[in-house]
Structure 1
Amino acid sequence: MAVESYQSQAEQLVKDYLLADTFVPYTSVIGGIFACKLVYDLTQLLSALYFKSYLSLSSIKRVEWNNRAISTVHAIFITAISLYLVFQSDLYADNEFSGYISYRSSSLSTSTLGASIGYFVADLVMIVWFYPSLGGLEYVIHHLLSASAIAYAMLTGEGQLYTFMILISETTTPVINLRWYLDTAGLKRSRAYLVNGVVIFLAWLVARILLFIYAFYHIYLHFDQVMEMQDFGKLLVFGVPLVLLVMNLVWFGKILKGLRKTLAKRQ
């Protein structure tokens, strides 16, 4: 009887708290922050054991090495779930019986956004703490805009579809981090470094330019539904992708310039 009583209490706790809509956002943010800490510590431990070049790095370089591991794990996680929610699940499918597409959300989508906020908060703290070693002002602006838009979508349930569309752009992060690792390991003149540059160019073109254009096209097709959102939500849906697109175009110009320089040296 005692066992059944404890089991009943545990089931009620899960139902009332762990599965409650108000509990999901906050725990997922905290979980995201702790996940970043875990990845940082594991990277530090494993790198010291298996990568000789890691031990020869300066302290700030080691911090960046670990920091890039965090961003890589987050990018893989958020890209996978974003692709599923946007293109595979029925959550955002064009179904007239499912309500406005700009108001749809689920426990999975909300908790995923919370975990992503946890990452952006943790990464922003590191960027500010070690400023400007881990990134300049453009990274601070990028993270603040991203975290604000994601937090609004998570807490209100508005515009989550477009938030996930933009988060798919994180697919470029692993290849960018790989380029840094190759450079740090002294492989800047290797074939892998050249192939990596081409992959970055293509990935950036698709995920950070063409995808943004598609997002604006989707907003245009569902303009009446988007306009039902709160004013701040509409500002984020229209404004944040636009600002990020401009930043992506500037960075794309730098990527193109760097690729041309690398190819010229190979001739």
Structure 2
Amino acid sequence: MTVMPKETVMAIKSYHSQAQMLVKNYILADPFIPYTSILGGILACKVAYDLTQLISNFYIKTYPGLTKIQRVEWNNRGISTIHAVFVSALALYFVFWADLFSDRKLAGLVVFRSSPLSIFGLGVSVGYFLVDLGMILWLYPSLGGMEYVIHHSLSGIGVAYTVFTGEAQFYAYMVLISELTTPEINMRWYLDTAGMKRSSAYLINGVVIFFAWVIARILLFGYIFYHIYLHYDQVIQLHTFGYLLVLGVPSILAIMNLMWFGKIVKGLVKTLAKSQRRI
């Protein structure tokens, strides 16, 4: 077995030590986390887009036959699905399991608490919203209409504010739990585009969307407003812009969720009716 010279081993250890110092002192240092996390989110979107394209070319038979804009949307939905899984898992952790935002923790007001991990996770989401909004505007209206522009703009501004100020991160994560519905919505589009609208998978996915939407985008938002009411003495201490975001963003998104829910119910009823006729 070949043994590396002592000088080579020392050089490798030196480079490794320098890399660790670079990561610790700059990339993951507290003042730089907002910027590195946003940049990381943007780069992760690029990787997710390319991976979706690569995997789909090899394993999805209908993918090569799609139009150019359909392939772009297919890959774009790959980005949003990966982001949804990442951020909703992190949001569930912070909202329901971590002690950072717990009322039992007496160290400071809930609306002013943050940590390097909470900042990093929200920064990644800002990077995603920037990329997705950019693609929507560049290809408008092929990837979504004005409702998507409004949704992503409000979400991006709200989350970015919490990243750079450290304020109201708990409410940002509560809203981001609603991303739990994104993979099901994307799956519905994938099945439709792949010509599987009459399949049982399409029907089952529609039912899952209905219940997930009720929980994550209707009941959850009711809980958000209830939490704001209980902690209003803290919310009112936020800076004016943060105060307006905490009250305004969930309110507008809740209205949009109800409007979309009406369309979901109509679509599910139509799908169930067609399924019964086939039986």
The TM-score, its normalising length taken from structure 2, stands at 0.92
What's 1:64 paired with? 73
Over 3 Å counting, the alpha-carbon distance change for 1:7 and 1:47 in structure 2 is closer
Query: Displacement, 1:14?
Result: 3.7
Amino acid in the other structure paired with 2:67: S
Over 3 Å counting, the alpha-carbon distance change for 1:11 and 1:53 in structure 2 is closer
1:20, 1:251 → 2: CA distance? Answer: 41
Q: Pairwise CA RMSD of aligned residues?
A: 1.5
What's 1:257 paired with? 266
Over 3 Å counting, the alpha-carbon distance change for 1:96 and 1:179 in structure 2 is closer
Query: Displacement, 1:13?
Result: 3.5
Query: Displacement, 1:6?
Result: 6.0
What's 2:254 paired with? 245
Query: Displacement, 1:19?
Result: 3.1
Query: Displacement, 1:98?
Result: 1.4
CA offsets 1:44-79 (integer angstroms, 9 cap, x no match): 111111111000000000001100010000000000
Amino acid in the other structure paired with 1:170: E
Over 3 Å counting, the alpha-carbon distance change for 1:156 and 1:263 in structure 2 is same
Amino acid in the other structure paired with 1:20: A
What's 1:173 paired with? 182
Mapped pair 1:44 → 2:23: no
Mapped pair 1:127 → 2:136: yes
What's 1:95 paired with? 104
Moved more, 15-24 or 120-129: 15-24
Amino acid in the other structure paired with 1:253: G
CA offsets 1:133-178 (integer angstroms, 9 cap, x no match): 1000000010000000000000000000000000000000000100
Segments of 5+ residues of structure 1 without an aligned counterpart are none
2:16, 2:198 → 1: CA distance? Answer: 61
Over 3 Å counting, the alpha-carbon distance change for 1:253 and 1:90 in structure 2 is same
Rg: which structure is higher?
A: 2
Contact 2:99-2:105 within 8 A present in 1 as well: no
1:51, 1:83 → 2: CA distance? Answer: 32
Query: Displacement, 1:16?
Result: 2.6
Amino acid in the other structure paired with 2:129: F
The TM-score, its normalising length taken from structure 1, stands at 0.96
Amino acid in the other structure paired with 1:166: V
Over 3 Å counting, the alpha-carbon distance change for 1:6 and 1:133 in structure 2 is closer
1:169, 1:154 → 2: CA distance? Answer: 19
